[in-house]
Homo-oligomer: A and B are copies of this chain.
Amino acid sequence: MTSDPVRLGVVGLGRAFALTAPAFAAHPGVRLVAAAAPRAESRRAFETAFSGRTFESVEALCADSDVEAVYVTTPHGMHRDHAIAAARAGKHVLLEKPIAVELDDAEAIVAACESAGVRLIVGPSHSFDAPVEQAAKLIRSGELGRVRMVQALNCTDFLYRPRRPEELRTELGGGVIFSQGVHQVDIVRLLCGGLATSVFARTGAWDPERPTEGAYAALIDFAGGVFASLTYSGYGRFDSDGWQGGVDELGRDKDPGLYGAARRALGAADDETALKAARSFTSMAETPAASHHEHFGPIIAFCEKGDIHLTPDGIEIFGDERRETRPAPFRTARAEVADALVAAVRGGASPLQTGRWGLASLEVCHAMLESAESGRPAALRRQIGVPS
């Protein structure tokens, strides 16, 4: 493992990059050297912030021989083309969740990366959050016996954040199942060992103005008789962050005065696409200053000898006779994603969140929709376990 920073190129300079850029900027093992984006404004912002090269096209970025790895953070429907272009150019790939919308697109991405001999990491995803890894490690250690049940709840304003039209169309990967469910599934799979066997789910699309899934409840079976209950609402009302110390998903102490802000901003906007563009990467100064880990709502793992509550600062363990808090050291938000990238590219280490892992989580998302449609449990066939 050398000390040369990984030379990272970025495809797509939208909201996801704005939220992840601080982790790369702060990490000694990563250097942001290039980016591709269609909007000139975004390219200028990248050049100013990182003194990097920019390109209008993904192809041009992939032809840049200085780039070792490509972070693909374009809309879901473009993941296949962009990830495969990077792989074929011999670049390692860090690919935003979900890996893709369609399972065959995900298969094609995995195959292209395997065939090119490059690493594929699906992330950032909340399964990288340090308290999640901390809880998963504790479970694997056996200290609390086997995990038997997991309960996960998250309530956000997801549906009222500004959206492009396709983000409100399920068949194009819109709605909360693909963008948010995949986080919850990723976390729950990690805690439960990965090998989901079947899913039973109900979904809700309750706002005719935004006619895609905004909520769901699901029960997932795992190998070994473990089961997990997942509930999500993106309708921006009940605030489950109140049960997470008042810390928001991005690890910031929440301002109660901002209750309803997403809906208000959307209601006041003439042009939703413009409102969305305004949330793209503009400078490092506008990135949120987190003081806690990111989180995805209150999650409890019920084990044979104790329960674990994942918090934005670590984990709480509820034993037979006492409670205990174990903090997870905080550096910068998403530092763990940068760690995984460096370990994969420089150390040859395989992250948990490989392409096949991301494909398995995507399969669960599709199975949720299938079960909600059929009224029956949906079987799963592409699951992989957590490596021991």
Contact = CB atoms under 8 A, between A and B. Distances in A.
Interface of A: 148-149, 151, 153, 155, 198, 200-202, 204, 206, 215, 217-219, 221, 227-229, 231, 233, 235-239, 243, 259-260, 263-264, 298, 300, 302, 304, 306-307, 309, 318-323, 375-377
Given A235-B302, A239-B318, A375-B377, A204 B153 contact: no
The 5 closest A-B pairs by CB, nearest first: A238-B307, A237-B318, A260-B321, A217-B229, A237-B307
A321 B153 contact: no
Contacts of A153: 151, 153
B217 A306 contact: no
Contacts of A221: 202, 375
A229 B227 contact: no
A135 to B, nearest CB: 13
Contact of A263 (B204, B217, B238, B321): B321
Nearest to A238: B307
A331 to B, nearest CB: 28
Given A217-B151, A238-B318, A259 B323 contact: yes
A233 B321 contact: no
Given A200-B200, A202-B219, A302 B376 contact: no
Chain multiplicity (copies): 2
Contacts of A198: 375
6 contacts: A149-B217, A149-B231, A202-B221, A217-B228, A233-B302, A235-B302
Given A149-B217, A320-B263, A322-B260, A302 B237 contact: yes
B302 A238 contact: yes
